[in-house]
Amino acid sequence: MKKLVLVLILITAAALMSLTLVSAQEVDRTGWPETFIIGVYPGDNVEEALAAVEPMRVYLEETLGVRTVLITGTSYNAVIEAMAANRADAMEVGPFSYVLAADVADAEAIAVANYATEVNPAEVPGYYSLMFTKKGSGITSIADLAGRSFAFTDPASTSGYLVPATDILLNQEFTDPGQIEEFANVSFAGNHPTAVLSVWNDSVEAAATFDGNLAVQVEEAGVSLCGFEDKGIDGPATAEEFPYLDAMTQEEITAIYEACPEGSLVVFHQSPLIPETPFAIKASLPESFKTAVKDALLAIADNQDLVNELERYYVDPTEEAGVESIDALYNSLRDIATLLNIDLQAR
């Protein structure tokens, strides 16, 4: 009996070893990078930004079995240039930056981030650009920006420039993007947090940013934000706390504005939905490696602890959005770039 048991153990061990070898051989690692370099734009706080992405770096390194490192750039374009120069293998720095990188840096979108902790794989992730001012400025609409000081964030920012510039263009029925600078006293704040502080500190009268950033600055910068109600919910703000995270009618926006106290930051315009930031990778990398990275990203949704730590998960929303590829999800941004006369190849 003991001999039989020993034989069975040896047979089982051999079978498991065989399966392991077969499994290892199934993935062709030919051409995989020895170091996987991911570029991120940290805004004005490098340490905080890297700390937020560190769990992702560790997870990918362990899952892929490839050393994974993070690099930062001083702007969105700096990260794009790093990928174009083969100093970065992947990036996650905004939808419009992806459109630029797809054109000039061989970037390919393989997954889309959903910045939430409650997993909903059927949702097409998106967010909104908001224009805001300080109550008492007299600015209640885009038309009121005439002759006033207005801050975009970065020329390569989707919610901080591309979309709000288009909204101004269409609202005022301009035919030339140059008319925006004639219409308002335009400047660039450099990043999203600074755009909020520029209005809060009365450096400019109005600005644009993405929806979640306004709520974040309540805690990080101590701004008074009308429409935001801190319910003590862990993680990113929810629509329960800040209604502009969902689609709002202009009537709803106006009602909140009119009820706001003087001196608080207040939203006066919400953009159409913007497709969320994709995780983009060099298209020239081996298909087996790109597939491994995509599978690892999509698997995050199955690990609630990791979702909570990252405050996001990843999806492939092509079926839900009715598009043939993740890249096609961003065609609307390419249309806007054409409207704004932005030469993607020249950036």
End-to-end CA distance of the chain: 75
Tens of pLDDT, residues 141-162: 999 999 999 999 988 788 999 9
User: With contact defined as beta carbons under 8 Å apart, do 168 and 252 qualify?
Assistant: no
Backbone angles phi, psi at 278, to 5 degrees: -90, 155
User: With contact defined as beta carbons under 8 Å apart, do 66 and 58 qualify?
Assistant: no
Q: Identify the top-confidence range among 26-35, 198-207, 227-236, 271-280.
A: 198-207
3-state DSSP assignment of residue 100: helix
| R_g of the chain computed on alpha carbons | 23
Tens of pLDDT, residues 204-246: 999 999 999 999 999 899 999 999 998 877 778 888 999 999 9
| Candidate from 42-46, 288-292, 310-314 with smallest mean pLDDT | 42-46
Tens of pLDDT, residues 95-151: 888 999 999 999 999 999 998 899 998 889 999 999 999 999 999 999 999 999 999
pLDDT at 25 over 60: no
Sheet holding 35-40, edge to edge: 67-72, 35-40, 90-91, 278-282, 107-114, 313-315
The domains located in the chain, with CATH, are 35-117+276-346 (3.40.190.10), 126-274 (3.40.190.10)
